[in-house]
Amino acid sequence: MKFISDLLMTALYTVFIQNLVLSSGLGMSEAIRVSTRPGTFGKFAVMISGFSVITSAVCSLIDNVPAVENATYAVRAAIYGGVLAAVYLVQAVFMRFVLKADSKLLGTLGIAALNTLVLAIPYINNSAAYSFAGSIGSGIGAGIAFVLAAALISQGSRILAENDEIPEIFKGTPAMFLYVAMLSLAFAGFTDTNLFA
């Protein structure tokens, strides 16, 4: 029971309170790109959650190895990055040669696996001292947080595109940056952050 509650609490925290895309900028480039393709949201949510969960779980187990417990961040970076690359390659080989996946799906797989959001999850788990269940929860939450961010950006970009009152020089990317800034500010509100010194 504790396992489930840890998992759910961490997943909810990762999605809504500490939305890693909007409050930390992790995977933001990918989220903005994905936001233009609402049809791919589900696929990205599943893939990012999958990679985050597997990488988190493996790294969480490795973190408990005595030799790694007091390792420097450089050593951890090498371990986490190596684990992510290995997880991606195993999955890609399986999909390419066993499931005969086409290059389009492999392209999606690469984007979903190899981004800052997925690689950052093990660091966050380690620094927040999440349990094994919490690590899995944060992995699941990362995928959902990514899609929540992409959906909010997608909805906003449609409204921005129809708004003729935006000055010409701010149309497009500048307006998108400012809109994402507002979203980021909204999520910062959940963390009780003081905006003024």
Within positions 126 to 145, which residues make up the interface with another protein, using CB under 8 A? 127
Backbone φ, ψ for residue 32 (5° rounding) = -65, -40
Write the DSSP assignment of 20-52 as a string of letters. Answer: HHHHH-TTHHHHHHHTT-GGGHHHHHHHHHHHH
Instruction: Name the residue nearer to another protein (CB basis): 8 or 77.
Output: 77
Question: Considering only residues 106, 131, 132, 151, which one is a binding residue for another protein as defined by CB under 8 A?
Answer: 106
CA distances from 18 to 35, 56, 161, 170 (A): 20, 17, 28, 29
Binding region for another protein (CB under 8 A) out of 1-9, 52-60, 95-103, 131-139: 95-103
CB 78, min distance to another protein, A: 4
CB 53, min distance to another protein, A: 18
Measured from the Cβ of residue 91, the count of other Cβ atoms closer than 10 Å reads 19
Instruction: Name the residue nearer to another protein (CB basis): 12 or 160.
Output: 160
CB 140, min distance to another protein, A: 20
Q: What's the sign of the alpha-carbon dihedral 195, 137, 92, 95? A: negative
Tokens 């190596």 belong to residue: 82
Binding mask 12-51 for another protein (x = CB under 8 A): ----------xxxxxxxxx-xxx-xxxxx-----------
Q: Are 83 and 59 in contact (CB under 8 A)?
A: yes
Question: Considering only residues 46, 65, 161, 190, which one is a binding residue for another protein as defined by CB under 8 A?
Answer: 161
Give residues 66-85 in contact with another protein (rule: CB under 8 A).
72-75, 77-78, 80-82, 84-85
Binding region for another protein (CB under 8 A) out of 7-15, 46-54, 59-67, 116-124: 116-124
Residues 6+ apart with CB under 8 A from 79: 59, 62, 68, 71
Instruction: Name the residue nearer to another protein (CB basis): 34 or 54.
Output: 34
